[in-house]
A and B are shown apart, each in its own frame.
Chain A
């Protein structure tokens, strides 16, 4: 057990606990963008940067993937942290000026007009790679990946062509912190503009509501190793069926 002091609150944690989980436990607010509890934290967006003091030395670290390995003093509101947080938001705001989430954070931490002038991209992507990781680690299909480098880096399907491995589950859409991926369900079809991929939607056998893509159902059958009745009905009808029993 290590002694932790976070913004003046003292507690004890097991070795390896991340700063972010201690903060959540103690109700200390640390802003995050690319963090999601279902995937391994990578510290890609730098939003959760805090100042720590270990063995008498102060340094800035990302809270999401910093495992506590010694007695530690954490400051989430120091001048250094505030200054860096503003800089990070300024950079992100310059890149994605239309993203509601970034705008909201920028306003909260007092960033108005970024000093940096970038060509407008009309894209809300902050290239945190969360969609790529979700596709690989949660869904397990790895249909998308990052490409290029520097200012050109972006998540895409290989060759920016319609994907053969994507199952159209939409996990990337739900997990994206800045809503940069669009998914349109229309006329029995689902279309992902960013992945240039279209799917046929399958209707619930009971109420007819479109609830999944045909490829997704096939994939689930393969993963489960059998044709499960739950794959034929929408979540609502499944709950109704359960309660009737």
Chain B
């Protein structure tokens, strides 16, 4: 584990305790999740007890303590998307990637998630991949979309 990267993030935030959430966000951008050693390191460097950091990291759904794939694929299961066929999209993604929501593909390319609403109900059913939205989906379009990200 490369802790010098973490030290750089900490210096960017002036080793400020109040910036904990921002620091964790940067760490997650770097490692794609929050590794245990890094949390221990932050605890020692900023003099924040580990339980407090653990509290913050488990409180926000945006943080993950488990390794995640290169691309985060969140399928919207909100009411609007649901009636427009989100369950079918989810089934398609599950069979295509051969994983359940919350899991990673074995090659760590994808992490599949379900979310409750991404606020793009007008173009439902919607999938969010790495922050970008893809709307008006069908099973075919879903598979094409997932294939697109499989290469890089």
Contacts and interface: CB of A to CB of B under 8 A. Distances in A.
A159 B54 contact: yes
Contact of A132 (B36, B51, B53, B59): B51
A158 B37 CA distance: 12
Query: Which among A141, A145, A157, A158 has the greatest number of chain B C-beta atoms within 10 A?
Result: A158
B50 A158 contact: yes
**Across the A-B interface, the 10 shortest Cβ-Cβ residue pairs:** A145-B51, A142-B49, A158-B54, A147-B58, A145-B55, A158-B50, A148-B58, A149-B59, A146-B55, A158-B51
Interface string B46-80: 00011111110011000000000000000000000
Interface of B: 36, 39, 49-55, 58-59
Nearest to A160: B54
Contacts of B49: 136, 141-143, 145, 165
A141 B49 CA distance: 8
A136 to B, nearest CB: 7
Nearest to B43: A158
Nearest to A142: B49
Contacts of B39: 158
6 contacts: A136-B49, A145-B49, A145-B55, A146-B51, A149-B59, A157-B51
Contacts of A145: 49-52, 54-55
B52 A147 contact: no
Query: Which among B36, B49, B59 has the greatest number of chain A C-beta atoms within 10 A?
Result: B49
A136 B49 CA distance: 9
B59 A148 contact: yes
Nearest to B52: A145
B51 A144 contact: yes
Contacts of B59: 147-149
Contacts of B52: 142, 145
A215 B53 CA distance: 24
B52 to A, nearest CB: 6
Nearest to B36: A159
A147 B54 contact: yes
Nearest to B58: A147
Contacts of A143: 49, 51
A143 B54 CA distance: 11
Query: Which among B39, B52, B53, B54 has the greatest number of chain A C-beta atoms within 10 A?
Result: B54
Interface in A150-199: 156-159, 165
Nearest to B49: A142
A141 B58 CA distance: 21
A149 B61 CA distance: 9
Given A142-B51, A149-B58, 17 more contacts: A132-B51, A142-B49, A142-B50, A143-B49, A145-B49, A145-B50, A145-B52, A145-B54, A146-B55, A147-B51, A147-B54, A147-B59, A149-B59, A158-B39, A158-B50, A158-B51, A165-B49
A187 B124 CA distance: 63
Contacts of A142: 49-52
A141 B52 CA distance: 12
Contacts of A136: 49
A157 to B, nearest CB: 7
A159 B39 CA distance: 11
